[in-house]
């Protein structure tokens, strides 16, 4: 194999596929990046058998071939090369020579045909949306996925497509994050759970430009994201996901409208005293025209007041402040609306102007 390409293009491709390279595996080949050249087509591939990423790199292909190179050393070499053209030559023993300006490296590779292929995903049915929109939808929900694998299904996010409606939902047992949008084209009903790791890595690849599009393809076992020069293929999680529609009730005892930034600042200050949030929740008192936020622990006490508009009855309720902070940091609107049913029932946070996203948060019992 022999190819010539720009260092910047090669490094971009390497950084993209590195996200799918395994760090902990009994198969050494999974710690590699596959380099594959065929006619005028040069691509890099990372695959840990759960997540696979392929990135096309503009290159002059002088000689076809493929090789698997240990990802860590290969990526470090490319990163340190001067900004110039890079020439990669692989001999019949998979010894790979990397030349750039006055630099030259030789590293041992493994046979490229031993590298696991990415799963084939049927592309008959395509869902198209803005890359920026998908990036925002993941950002505004993924913090609610479970980190522990006691219920693996909760470590992923539900992608629920019904006609022109697309919902992304995350649940960790204490809160639910729901983000919805309308698609321009009618689609078949789809419900799949995508691993949180996959979605987290995809946000690093998705473009921040509104006009860039991403295509999604789904099978029973896999989901494929096609974006620009790269494709991402991921296994789906199996299991029963929460029936989230039933979690959000329109009934409430108390409803308030509050400035998001003022509420966030106050909660963050009160949380300084409440170090162990589960055992030391932050107490919230809903009054006619203000919210009183207090924290009382061995470290000391905190007292905050925030102006509100209230409808319904006054209430006292306590929360893990981290869950409130996570939600508030991921809402972009200036004003939010919060509904409370009782001191022991979940509350719902949403922007005033839209139902595009909602956050349900369970309260914590408190004494006094």
Condensed to tens digits (0 to 9), the pLDDT of residues 319-355 reads 999 999 999 999 999 999 999 999 999 999 999 988 8
* Calpha distance 236→102 (Å, rounded): 46
- Residue linked to tokens 């981290």: 322
- Per the CB < 8 A criterion, the answer to whether 164 and 182 are in contact is yes
Residue 325: phi, psi to the nearest 5?
A: -60, -45
For residue 284, the tally of other CB atoms under 10 A from its CB is 28
* Calpha distance 108→110 (Å, rounded): 7
The pLDDT of residue 264 is 98
* Per-residue pLDDT band at 124 (split at 50, 70, 90): confident
The pLDDT of residue 277 is 57
Asked whether residue 173 carries a pLDDT value surpassing 90, the answer given is no
Asked whether residue 368 carries a pLDDT value surpassing 60, the answer given is no
Asked whether residue 7 carries a pLDDT value surpassing 70, the answer given is yes
The pLDDT of residue 125 is 83
Task: Using alpha carbons, select from 196, 204, 158 the residue that is nearest to residue 179.
Answer: 158
Q: What is the mean pLDDT of the chain?
A: 93
pLDDT tens digits for range 277-323: 566 789 999 999 999 999 988 889 999 999 999 999 999 999 999 99
CATH 3.10.150.10 domain range(s) in the chain: 2-114, 127-245, 254-361
| Residue 182 burial (10 A CB sphere; 0-12, 13-18, 19+) | exposed
The pLDDT of residue 355 is 87
Structure tokens of 189?
Answer: 């009903």
* Calpha distance 117→345 (Å, rounded): 49
CA 13, 193, 139, 121 dihedral sign is: positive
- Average pLDDT value for residue range 83-88: 97
The pLDDT of residue 242 is 86
Q: How far is CA 168 from the centre of its chain?
A: 11
The pLDDT of residue 26 is 80
The pLDDT of residue 353 is 87
Q: Give the CATH fold of the 254-361 domain.
A: DNA Polymerase III; Chain A, domain 2 (3.10.150)
The pLDDT of residue 278 is 61
The CATH code of domain 2-114 reads 3.10.150.10
| Beta-bridge partners for 287 | none
Helices (H) and strands (E) in the chain, counts: 6, 24
Asked whether residue 367 carries a pLDDT value surpassing 80, the answer given is no
- Per the CB < 8 A criterion, the answer to whether 274 and 282 are in contact is yes
- Residue linked to tokens 């006009």: 211
Residue 198: phi, psi to the nearest 5?
A: -60, -50
* Calpha distance 172→169 (Å, rounded): 10
User: Which letter, b or e, does each residue of 217-226 get, where b requires 16 or more Cβ atoms within 10 Å of its Cβ?
Assistant: bbbeebbbbb
* Calpha distance 261→234 (Å, rounded): 36
* Calpha distance 324→345 (Å, rounded): 15
Find out if CATH 3.10.150.10 is the number for domain 127-245: yes
* Calpha distance 307→293 (Å, rounded): 11
- Per the CB < 8 A criterion, the answer to whether 31 and 25 are in contact is yes
* Calpha distance 75→225 (Å, rounded): 24
Asked whether residue 148 carries a pLDDT value surpassing 80, the answer given is no
Asked whether residue 229 carries a pLDDT value surpassing 60, the answer given is yes
* Calpha distance 54→17 (Å, rounded): 6
- Per the CB < 8 A criterion, the answer to whether 328 and 351 are in contact is no
- Residue 221 is classified by DSSP as S
- Residue 286 is classified by DSSP as E
Q: How far is CA 17 from CA 58, 155, 245, 313, 316, in A?
A: 15, 22, 36, 54, 50
pLDDT tens digits for range 232-280: 999 999 999 988 888 888 889 999 999 999 999 999 999 999 876 566 7
Q: Could you give the strand order of the β-sheet that contains 347-351, starting from the edge strand earlier in sequence?
A: 156-171, 175-195, 357-361, 347-351, 335-340, 254-259, 300-312, 290-297, 282-286, 315-319
């Amino acid at each position: 194999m022999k190819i010539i390409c720009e260092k910047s293009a090669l490094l971009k491709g390497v950084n993209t596929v590195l996200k799918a390279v395994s760090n902990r595996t009994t198969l050494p080949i999974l710690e590699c990046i596959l380099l594959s050249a065929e006619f005028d087509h040069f691509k890099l591939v990372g695959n840990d058998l759960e997540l696979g990423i392929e990135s096309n790199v503009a290159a002059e292909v002088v000689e076809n071939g493929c090789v698997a190179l240990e990802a860590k050393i290969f990526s470090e070499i490319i990163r340190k090369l001067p900004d110039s053209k890079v020439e990669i030559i692989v001999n019949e023993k998979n010894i790979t020579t990397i030349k750039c300006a006055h630099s030259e490296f030789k590293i041992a590779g493994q046979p490229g045909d031993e590298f696991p292929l990415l799963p084939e995903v049927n592309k008959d049915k395509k869902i198209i949306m803005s890359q920026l929109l998908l990036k925002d939808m993941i950002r505004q929900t993924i913090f609610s996925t479970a980190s522990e694998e006691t219920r693996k299904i909760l470590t992923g996010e539900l992608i629920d497509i019904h006609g022109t409606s697309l919902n992304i939902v995350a649940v960790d047992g204490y809160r639910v994050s729901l983000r919805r949008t309308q698609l321009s084209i009618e689609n078949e009903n789809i419900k799949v759970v995508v691993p949180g790791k996959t979605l987290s890595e995809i946000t690093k690849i998705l473009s921040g430009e509104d006009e860039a599009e991403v295509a999604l393809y789904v099978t029973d076992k896999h989901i494929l994201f096609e974006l620009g020069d790269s494709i991402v293929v991921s296994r789906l999680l199996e299991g029963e996901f929460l029936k989230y529609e039933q979690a959000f009730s329109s009934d409430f005892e108390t409803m308030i409208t509050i400035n998001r930034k003022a509420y966030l600042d106050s909660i963050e200050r009160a949380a300084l005293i409440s170090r162990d949030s589960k055992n030391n929740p932050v107490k919230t008192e809903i009054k006619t025209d203000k919210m009183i936020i207090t924290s009382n622990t061995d470290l000391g006490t905190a007292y905050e007041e925030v102006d509100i508009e209230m409808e319904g009855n006054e209430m006292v309720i306590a929360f893990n402040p981290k869950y409130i902070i996570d939600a508030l940091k991921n809402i972009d609107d200036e004003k939010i609306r919060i509904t409370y049913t009782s001191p022991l029932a979940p509350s719902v946070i949403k922007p005033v102007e839209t139902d595009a996203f909602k956050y349900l948060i369970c309260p914590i019992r408190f004494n006094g």
